[in-house]
Amino acid sequence: MRTLRPRLSNEPPKLVGSNNLLFNHFVAMRIQFSLSCQKGTIIPINYQSEISNWIFAVLANAGAELSMWVQQQGFDLSSRTYKLFTFRPLAIYPYEMDQVRQEFKLLGNQVKVGISFYLNPAFEQQLVNLFRQVPLQLGTLEGQPAYFEVKHWQVVSRPPFKETMQFKAVSPISVTTVEEGKPANPYVLPDNPDYDTSFFHHIIRRFKAAHQYRSLAQMKLLDPAFPMQYRVLGQAKSRLIHLKANYDGIQQLRGFTYEFEISAPIPVLEFCYYAGFGEFPHLGFGYVDLK
C-alpha cells in the first residue's frame, strides 16, 4: 500500500499572518435541520443539485462579517468558490416511491437534512438565521413548485478526534484517478490497489486549498515516522447520482458507500469530517458519520 507520511506534532500549529486562525478555531459545525413541507409533496429521487443550490443561495446572503472572513481565507461566497461543506441524504420517512418516475411522495409534513461546514463556529447563529430566511425549493405539490422551510435545528456535538478513526460513508464518496489522461470512466473502486493514492491526493489538495495552499511541512504536519493509511471495512456499494443544473456542469457522479478506517493528522481528519471526503462534497458526496 502506498502511503503519505504526515503527522500532527505535539504542539498545536500556529499559522503565520493576521488573518489566519488556529486549526481548532477553523474547524466548524454540523447542523441538523428539520424542514416543514406539505403532505403529498413529490420530490425527485436525485435531489442533490437542489440542496446544493439552496446552500449556495443561503451563503450568498451572508452578512459583511461572514463574507469578509471567508474572503480572508481565499474564498468568495457570491462566486461560489467556497465549497467546504457537504450534506447527508434527506430523512423523508414516511414516503411512497415511484421507481418508474424516480420520485418520492412524502406522506408526512417534515423532512430532515444534516449540513456540515468547515467554517468558523462563531457564525453558527448567523447561518441558522440565514437558513430560516431562505426556503428550499424542491419538487412539486399539485403541479406547483414545493417549498420547505426551516422549523427546528440542532447543532451536532463535535466528536473526539484521534489519529486513527473509523467512519461510515452516509453519502457516497467519489474518487477519480489522478493519473494523466483520465479514461472515459475515471472513477476508482475502493478495492482498487491504487485507490488510496487518489483518495489521499484529493484530501491533501482540498485541505491545502482551504489553508491558502500552505505546504504540510509549513503547517508542521509532516513526520516520516507516521504513515497516512486507509482501508475499507466490509463491502462497498456503488451509487450513481444524476444531477440537475449546477455550476460545475456535472450531469452525473458515481460514488461508493462503505465503512473505512483512516490514519491521518487530526486537523486533516477534522477537515474531512466537516468538509467531506473525496471529490464534490458540495454536491452531496462524502458525508460521513463515526462508525
pLDDT digits (tens, 9 = 90+) for 184-236: 568 999 999 889 999 999 998 899 888 877 666 666 666 656 678 999 999 99
Yes or no: say if 260 and 173 are a contact pair by the CB < 8 Å rule.
Answer: no
Direct distance between the N- and C-terminal alpha carbons of the chain, in angstroms, rounded to an integer? 23
Across 40-50, average pLDDT: 97
**Domains along the chain with CATH numbers:** 28-155 (3.30.70.1890), 164-290 (3.30.70.1900)
244 vs 165, more confident: 165
Tell me the per-residue pLDDT of 97-152, one tens digit each, with 9 for 90 and over: 999 999 999 999 999 999 999 988 889 899 999 999 999 999 999 999 999 999 99
| Max CA pair span of the chain | 62
Q: Could you tell me the pTM of the whole model?
A: 0.86
Across 25-41, average pLDDT: 88
How high does pLDDT run on average in the chain? 86
261 vs 28, more confident: 261
Q: What pLDDT is attached to residue 74?
A: 84
For residues 290 and 11, what is the distance between their CA atoms, to the nearest angstrom? 26
